[in-house]
Amino acid sequence: MSHAEARGVHADRQEGDTAPGDVRESGETLGRGIVSYLAGFALAVGLTVTSFVVAGTSLVWGPSIPVALFVLAIAQMGVHLVFFLHLTTGPDNVNNVMALAFGLLIVILLIGGSLWIMGHLNHNMMPMNQIMQMQR
């Protein structure tokens, strides 16, 4: 692909279509990309430290700690997807977004199926007295 063709491929992208740190031909400098990576790193470290603080202190009401950790984990995933994997919803990232959505669907089905099986396992088992009679 020639330089002119490559420029034509990038010409249909909108200015807001790039993720932080995604260096494009639009004249974005390498320094600006590094600053974006450092901002993502700072956010990731901040969210990690916040998770440890939430779990290790009494700043958050006890029963809400799992919810707070879940929210911080989702935020951490968002930071990684945007700042490090440069995943956006732009037209040039549709395949990436679809692959992520399919992966999430598989994980949800796997976890949900496992929880359903474990929840119904006790109901479907033979009563203990019958198991004991079979072992004699």
- Residue ranges per domain, the chain? 1-88, 89-136
d(CA 105, CA 94): 16
Q: What is the mean pLDDT of residues 70-77?
A: 94
pLDDT of residue 32: 77
Number of Cβ within a 10 Å radius of residue 18: 19
User: Residues near 42 by Cβ (< 8 Å), separated by ≥ 6?
Assistant: none
Using the predicted structure, report yes or no on whether residue 26 has a pLDDT greater than 70: no
Using the predicted structure, report yes or no on whether residue 65 has a pLDDT greater than 90: yes
